[in-house]
């Protein structure tokens, strides 16, 4: 049995670093918000790669903020306590008991395990929730959903304080309403609002798709770049439809709030974060305020 071995010479390694230099300079000292979810959050090998990439970016001077949800883990815990998950329009119905479990899983188990992973890989991380320091103030918008919140206000001070001290903030997406009750907040929505409040250089949303596609069944039709007008055009044409509508809405909301660039990338690809940030190739779809043409494919 033959075995293919790829050997990267020292000269090749040096060339990789030299080619990454302009991107390192571009992002040095800038804030990047990473919305972490999908298969990259479940698969342990991918999780290790993502955490290591974040540590690397932090060590080269990028101010990385990790925002996470945890739908599958919440569903798993509800099942363990004999409670069935219910959804309305894709959002989890969150009654009193479910609200307590959401808080326990997101702010506890998931958040602290990610912090531990980052620390183990040589990073400095601090876990917080949207309830800490009034980071995310929310309000209930649909009684059918129970304690599911829509963000009223973001106070980014806790995140900025942690970044200033050299930490990677790890943010779980729960907030509280004016009565102090825990509210479950969609992770895409929370990441976009946080990135906007921070006026981040970039928001990177890790998903289980290659990005925004002209034909959802054909990965070769990947839309590499798109602006706000392009999003409206493709929504009218039905290209942006179904579950991509709210994801794209979060991307465009972040752009309108002052985020310079937003990316949807495939978290199933090893080191997709580094490929997107530190190479010419990129790994998904980039959103900007204005482009000419309004979008480009392939």
Residue 129 lies in a domain: yes
Residue 98 lies in a domain: yes
Residue 72 lies in a domain: yes
Residue 215 lies in a domain: yes
Cβ atoms 94, 147 nearer than 8 A: yes
Q: Higher pLDDT residue, 90 or 142? A: 142
Report strand pairing: 202-207 vs 261-266: parallel
Read off the pLDDT of residues 97-138 as tens digits, 9 standing for 90 and up.
Answer: 888 999 999 999 999 999 999 999 999 999 999 999 999 999
Q: What distance in Å separates the CA atoms of residue 277 and residue 25, rounded to the nearest whole number?
A: 11
> Which pLDDT band, with edges at 50, 70 and 90, does 6 fall under?
low
> Which pLDDT band, with edges at 50, 70 and 90, does 37 fall under?
confident
Burial class (CB in 10 A: 0-12, 13-18, 19+), 11: exposed
Read off the pLDDT of residues 43-81 as tens digits, 9 standing for 90 and up.
Answer: 899 999 999 999 999 999 999 999 998 888 888 898 898
Q: What distance in Å separates the CA atoms of residue 114 and residue 126, rounded to the nearest whole number?
A: 9
Cβ atoms 279, 52 nearer than 8 A: no
Which bin fits 134, alpha (ψ -120 to 50), beta or left (φ > 0)? Answer: left
Angle, CA of 52, 170 and 190, to the nearest 5°:
120
The whole-number average pLDDT for the span 246-271 is 94
Residue 19 lies in a domain: no
pLDDT at residue 4, as a whole number: 46
* Burial readout 49-76 (b: 16 or more C-beta within 10 A, e: otherwise): bbbbbbbbbbeeebbbbbbbbbbebbbe
Cβ atoms 34, 118 nearer than 8 A: no
Residue 9 lies in a domain: no
Neighbours of 35 (CB within 10 A): 32
Q: Per-residue DSSP letters for 241-264?
A: -TTHHHHHHHHHHHHHTT-SEEEE
Cβ atoms 38, 268 nearer than 8 A: yes
Q: Which of 217, 246, 214 is nearest to 230 (CA)?
A: 214
Q: What distance in Å separates the CA atoms of residue 258 and residue 165, rounded to the nearest whole number?
A: 24
Q: Which domain holds residue 246?
A: 29-297
Residue 216 lies in a domain: yes
pLDDT at residue 75, as a whole number: 86
Q: What is the mean pLDDT of the chain?
A: 91
Q: What distance in Å separates the CA atoms of residue 280 and residue 270, rounded to the nearest whole number?
A: 17
pLDDT at residue 8, as a whole number: 65
How many separate domains does the chain show?
1
Read off the pLDDT of residues 188-214 as tens digits, 9 standing for 90 and up.
Answer: 999 999 999 999 999 999 988 889 999
Residue 259 lies in a domain: yes
**CATH code of residue 161:** 3.40.1160.10
> Cβ neighbours of residue 130 under 8 Å, at least 6 residues apart?
136, 138, 171, 172, 173, 174, 175, 176, 185, 190
Run of H or E including 138: strand 136-140
CA dihedral 60, 61, 62, 67 (to 10 degrees): 90
pLDDT at residue 3, as a whole number: 46
């Amino acid at each position: 049995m033959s075995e293919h071995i790829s050997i990267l010479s020292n000269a090749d390694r040096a060339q990789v670093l030299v080619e990454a230099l302009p991107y390192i300079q571009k992002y040095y000292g800038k804030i990047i918000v990473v919305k972490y979810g999908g298969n990259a959050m479940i698969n342990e090998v991918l999780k290790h790669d993502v955490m290591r990439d974040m540590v690397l970016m932090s060590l080269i001077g990028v101010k990385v903020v990790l925002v996470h949800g945890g739908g599958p883990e919440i569903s798993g815990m509800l099942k363990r306590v004999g409670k069935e998950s219910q959804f309305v329009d894709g959002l989890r119905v969150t009654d009193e008991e479910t609200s307590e479990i959401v808080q326990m899983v997101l702010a506890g188990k998931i958040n602290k395990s990610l912090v531990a992973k980052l620390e183990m890989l040589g990073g400095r991380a601090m876990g917080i929730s949207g309830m800490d320091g009034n980071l995310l103030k929310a309000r209930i918008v649909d009684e059918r959903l129970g304690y599911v919140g829509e963000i009223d206000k973001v106070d980014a001070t806790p995140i900025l304080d942690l970044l200033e001290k050299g930490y990677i903030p790890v943010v779980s997406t729960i907030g509280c309403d004016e009565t102090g009750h825990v509210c479950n907040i969609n992770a895409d929505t929370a990441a976009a609002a946080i990135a906007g409040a921070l006026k981040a250089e970039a928001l990177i949303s890790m998903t289980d798709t290659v990005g925004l596609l002209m034909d959802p069944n054909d990965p070769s039709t990947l839309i590499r770049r798109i602006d706000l007008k392009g999003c409206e055009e493709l929504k009218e044409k039905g290209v942006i439809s179904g579950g991509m509508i709210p994801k794209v809405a979060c991307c465009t909301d972040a752009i309108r709030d002052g985020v310079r660039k937003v990316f949807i990338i495939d978290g199933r690809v090893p080191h997709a974060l580094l490929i997107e940030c530190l190479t010419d190739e990129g790994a998904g779809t980039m959103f900007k305020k204005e482009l000419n043409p309004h979008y480009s494919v392939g």
